[in-house]
Structure 1
């Protein structure tokens, strides 16, 4: 089984070719292997958070260890909920109040607001089997033509949403740096030129048609409970209406779960609460799994990420919830999902 590894200390990024992984050992974020390595790139200097990377930048994902290329970026406001008590009794009181919308309107002193650069990227399909982020079903609305208002949900394979800190930039030494069906459609590549990847006009056309939220003010929501950090990013996709149904507004949301501590936890259940501003009702949605899986979080496997869809009959609303995780001894831990605002700037806009 192939696995991507890198040697930051030597400035080279290498691919592990051996099927025997028993000789591999990990030391911090540097990986070494006793078996054969094949170089596929050289590390470049990372940029400060206030200098975004350009479209066409090749990178290695710092957390999920896959190769990718940047499509476009945007600057997001990150709202981080702080001051959550670690006391079990107080936590139980908080969770019993879940169904009250006011219980998730926190005091301004408990909210930290910063800005962070985020990116839409293409990932290398060769690395898909080893990723812990279920992003292959990146969904969006597409309308075939102006006369046909029926929305079609499409999927863009091997795409991902990452933040600035996830990126380890590199230059490739391969003839084809990214194995992705869309790579040649969006970029001209010549490893002997600088920059090696040049954006084609087709990329800008695709962004306008397939990523309608790319020019919107997207907000990132983050909350930490028991050293488990949950980050949520909602994206407004569009609205549609048929003769038999009322108008429906749809958002895609990306969830990233990270273990900041040393505990071993497994995700068992989820509960979402959806608030519709028009009806002032709160609907619940329960499920035993996340994308059909029960991911385990440990010091060696800290991250998990996925995307999904949510629809409301209102251009304004919100969603929040909790994950139920279990420790190896069977004890349950409730992990809060931050309250995310669902809104669109133009309620009448049909993409």
Structure 2
């Protein structure tokens, strides 16, 4: 019996050692084969370049010598026109509404007709919108609109361009958010869209590994001030859309207070888009891009890394630390 146990231990140890050696060998091999060639001769497609992160990334990649296909919702708008004025002839504006099958297919044809020698290196799925309101202040159309852009827009674009990226063994990048895993009052529709986006990206990463394509997820924290993603609305805008039953629950005073609290929290975020743009650049150009780029303040980093491992009753309790939650409970049903 002792001999049997000893043999079993030896076999177990040997098996673990073999697995470790195999994994290390694969990592080393991957490292040797993942050298990104010089940017000249490669193209990158970016969605949502009218403003924000996509706009800045398009300019950065243009300066690095990539042929940039900058997808813009409004090609004649100020954002697209400023890109044309400030960039080289290697940057090309595409009319691209990611919710439109026709736009995506037309963009694909344009890209194929204008690809440089080395092909399409990366697709950066950056187009997105925000929506803030408690779930009962929202409609199914609110959820559908956010998901159609943030989630299905990225899926639609990815499926269309994957054959080109696969041919170059390139990259696919998704701009998500910390709210894909961190629940927050007033961001239900946005969180749903981003959590779905990360699920899609995770599945795609596993599938694309066989083809040498790398998939990265960018997870920005509060960068509202650095972009124009936050669409301003007043408490009155929300109140007027509520039916009589909900007006009895969510009184006008609370809605005004919640609106002020949310806008105040947004203005406390990063004012500079560079941390996110630099992460996007790394995901596109690094020889070893990360699977995820968590972009929060230094003080928040430990908390967000720990958050996923905490039991639900603790993570839910964390929200009670916010003053708005205590106020909310007191004011609900108040006349």
Q: Is the structural similarity TM-score above 0.5?
A: no
Structure whose CA Rg is larger: 2
Q: What is the TM-score normalised by the length of structure 1?
A: 0.24
User: Under a length normalisation based on structure 2, what TM-score does the superposition of the two structures give?
Assistant: 0.24
> Which structure carries more helix by proportion?
2
